[in-house]
Structure 1
Amino acid sequence: MPSLPLALTQGDPAGIGLELSLRAWHERQERALPVFACLANPDQLARTADRLGWPIPIRECGWEEAASVFSEALPVIPLAQAVDVAPGKPDPASAAATIASIDLAVAAVQDRQAGAVVTNPIAKSVLYAAGFKHPGHTEYLAHLAGKAGIEPLPVMMLWCEELAVVPVTIHVPLQRVPSLLTTQLIVDTARIVATGLRRQFGIASPRLAIAGLNPHAGENGTMGREDEEIVKPAIALLQAEGIDARGPYPADTMFHARARAGYDAALAMYHDQALIPIKTIAFDEGVNVTLGLPFIRTSPDHGTAFDIAGKGIARPDSLCAALKLAARMAARQDAAR
């Protein structure tokens, strides 16, 4: 486990993030969770616990105190912004606190006060209504990580013990995927994945399986030319660099157990090609990992769930998995330094 606590953001306070944070701390021993501190408004956290009838102690503290506090109370690094929203009723007035929580978490990791960032879910529409200018959570983290105006390329990897999968194109309409997919994008993504697997997962020679875009990986060009003209050249370039990249493989035969044993991560060409298999295998325990940043970031693989917020029924499995994976990655990275 890392010697530094993990920085857990509040997410949208009208969603399930606060109650998941409370439940994670409450179940910290049975789930063998690493030390974490919440960056949140303490009063809002206390109101959430009271509303749910959970007698969970909350203690404001600094980063240097979080580890000693953790055994007795949920450590909270307080936000300056007041937050008072009802569960399930998102309010753009809370956007400043949501963003501040992210800012402080990244700053803590950059200052070596925290070992990794774990983010609770946000609602982009709520932030947009308050004037947020970035496409999403991950892009904002890349912006915070940038130096001299140069932002890193963030790569989203969905992870569970049985599968790690990366969508090369992400939140775009399906009809736009062929025009956005380039040999260079595949190469850049695969390089970042291979580096992340080596540095943060301890895999000395990562094996990457590359999916084809079209059915049957194009079947030698008879079902579309993209796999011949875009995907295959990318694999050849990666192999020339010494990266163990294979494919393109038909996506419909890549994700059964025997196939998964042959690679360490799969690269899919679009969102659903990647997310359907992992959500089938690990719907409650999947973790969203961002590779390519100069710090570790994980997140639950679900959204704000406004429809069940405040009911105390949201499962903390994915958040707990995200906390444990962040700790493993931080320990591995520290050991490699």
Structure 2
Amino acid sequence: MTRPLRPVAITLGDPAGIGGETIAMLFRDQPDAVAGCFVVGDLLHMRRASAVLQRAGELPMPVALIGSPDELSAVPPRCIPLLQAGAPAAACVPWGRVDAAAGRIAADAVVWAARAALRGEVAAMVTAPLHKEALAAAGVHFPGHTELLQAEAARHRGVPVADMPVRMMLANDELRTVLVSIHVSLRQAIEAVTREQVLQTLRITHGALARMLGRAPRIAVAGLNPHAGEGGLFGREELDAIGPAIGAARAEGIDADGPHPPDTIFMRARAAHGKPGGFDVVVAMYHDQGLIPVKYLGVEHGVNVTLGLPLVRTSPDHGTAFDIAGSGRADPSSLLQALRMARRLAGG
């Protein structure tokens, strides 16, 4: 007898972007993949997104309102189940524009799904992209999903946010990278390269990848400076912070190696042409250093995973794509990969 899938919550994201369209595409074209899934968001906007995909001679895929994940079994096939998070919208926000109302809809969905995941009511949450400007316009004082989820997890555990350290991992079939810092300025990112921050990143990466792979991961550590500092000629962060953090991690049994020149280590770690890479993951020192290599390999296959949370959260590796929102031209491939990754991490 097949064990029923535990529910997975898919948040709508910014309703002015492509999130709703990609979700509707999955429910239309990948019914097996979305079995046991439901959308958290706004009914009016999800219906609009579904209507965008209407084919000639067909009606849009209907959206069924549910009150809780327990009602999923009563939703008819070929129907998108949606749980309304926050007050229902009176009108749709314009496609492709920053709007405070859109930011509020996106934030309400994330908060509802996070709290449900923390209570164990859903197995995982998959987040469609939100827009950071719209989030700020709505008065949400977090720069993105990662920080908002970190705050919710800390509140749930009753601990300060500082005691709930999280890291961002971006992954595809060829490369994984974990970041020491996330959404901060480059100046702040450089200041964050301390022995303690790098060591904490290595510990979080080791624990998360060990659970994911079923074995200890091989971790490459990128340097901060050109040529990994060239022995102090181009900066001392490798000598004063990164190297000592690697040494401390290795003393704890973590297979960490480096610091390596950041312009070559991603190529060494990449799995390609049917051959595994030299490392399972690269720890990068700041946002763009780590994300450019993964995104260059194709955003349609990338998945964003938040490490360190007491819940499973994944997200597609693309933004709101305001320039094509409402056109029906969005590609749901990354969302599908995010959903599959969430299922694997949740154990079913």
Q: What's the TM-score, normalizing by structure 2? A: 0.89
For residue 70 of structure 1, report the CA deviation from its aligned partner. 7.1
CA contact (8 A) 2:98 2:133 kept: no
Aligned residues: 330
Q: Distance in 1 between matches of 2:180 and 2:71?
A: 40
Q: 1:173 to 1:90 in 2, by over 3 A?
A: closer
1:92 aligns with 2:108: no
CA contact (8 A) 1:2 1:330 kept: no
CA contact (8 A) 2:269 2:281 kept: no
What is the aligned partner in structure 1 of residue 206 from structure 2? 194
For residue 158 of structure 1, report the CA deviation from its aligned partner. 0.2
| Deviation per residue, 1:22-56 (Å, 9 max, x gap) | 01111214x84553100122232112222442521
For residue 283 of structure 1, report the CA deviation from its aligned partner. 2.4
* Greater alpha carbon shift after TM alignment, 218-227 vs 170-179: 170-179
What is the aligned partner in structure 1 of residue 42 from structure 2? 41
* Greater alpha carbon shift after TM alignment, 91-100 vs 232-241: 91-100
What is the aligned partner in structure 1 of residue 160 from structure 2? 150
Q: Distance in 2 between matches of 1:212 and 1:68?
A: 53
Q: Which residue type is aligned with residue 262 of structure 2?
A: A
Q: 1:92 to 1:259 in 2, by over 3 A?
A: closer
Q: Distance in 2 between matches of 1:266 and 1:34?
A: 33
For residue 76 of structure 1, report the CA deviation from its aligned partner. 1.1
Unmatched 5+ residue regions in structure 2? Answer: 272-276
1:180 aligns with 2:192: yes
What is the aligned partner in structure 1 of residue 63 from structure 2? 58
Q: Distance in 1 between matches of 2:208 and 2:215?
A: 11
State the structure with bigger RCO (CA 8 A, min sep 6), 1 or 2.
1
CA contact (8 A) 2:167 2:182 kept: no
Aligned partner of 1:288 among 300, 304, 321: 304
Q: Which residue type is aligned with residue 51 of structure 2?
A: D
Q: Distance in 1 between matches of 2:303 and 2:113?
A: 18
Q: Which residue type is aligned with residue 245 of structure 1?
A: A
1:241 aligns with 2:252: yes
What is the aligned partner in structure 1 of residue 138 from structure 2? 130
CA contact (8 A) 1:2 1:331 kept: no
Q: 1:77 to 1:247 in 2, by over 3 A?
A: same
For residue 90 of structure 1, report the CA deviation from its aligned partner. 3.1
What is the aligned partner in structure 2 of residue 229 from structure 1? 240
Q: Distance in 2 between matches of 1:177 and 1:78?
A: 37
Q: What's the TM-score, normalizing by structure 1? A: 0.91
1:75 aligns with 2:81: yes
3-state SS, counterpart of residue 255 of structure 1: helix
Q: 1:232 to 1:85 in 2, by over 3 A?
A: same
For residue 202 of structure 1, report the CA deviation from its aligned partner. 3.3
Q: Distance in 2 between matches of 1:258 and 1:78?
A: 42
Q: Which residue type is aligned with residue 311 of structure 2?
A: F
Q: Distance in 2 between matches of 1:271 and 1:89?
A: 25
For residue 282 of structure 1, report the CA deviation from its aligned partner. 2.7
User: Over the residues paired in the alignment, what is the CA RMSD in angstroms?
Assistant: 2.0
3-state SS, counterpart of residue 210 of structure 1: strand
Q: Distance in 1 between matches of 2:173 and 2:137?
A: 37
Q: 1:251 to 1:74 in 2, by over 3 A?
A: same
Q: Distance in 1 between matches of 2:313 and 2:234?
A: 38
Q: Distance in 1 between matches of 2:29 and 2:121?
A: 24
What is the aligned partner in structure 2 of residue 335 from structure 1? none
CA contact (8 A) 2:222 2:262 kept: yes
CA contact (8 A) 1:6 1:118 kept: yes
CA contact (8 A) 1:5 1:67 kept: no
What is the aligned partner in structure 1 of residue 177 from structure 2? 165
Q: 1:227 to 1:135 in 2, by over 3 A?
A: same
| Deviation per residue, 1:84-126 (Å, 9 max, x gap) | 2121133212333222211211122123221101111111211
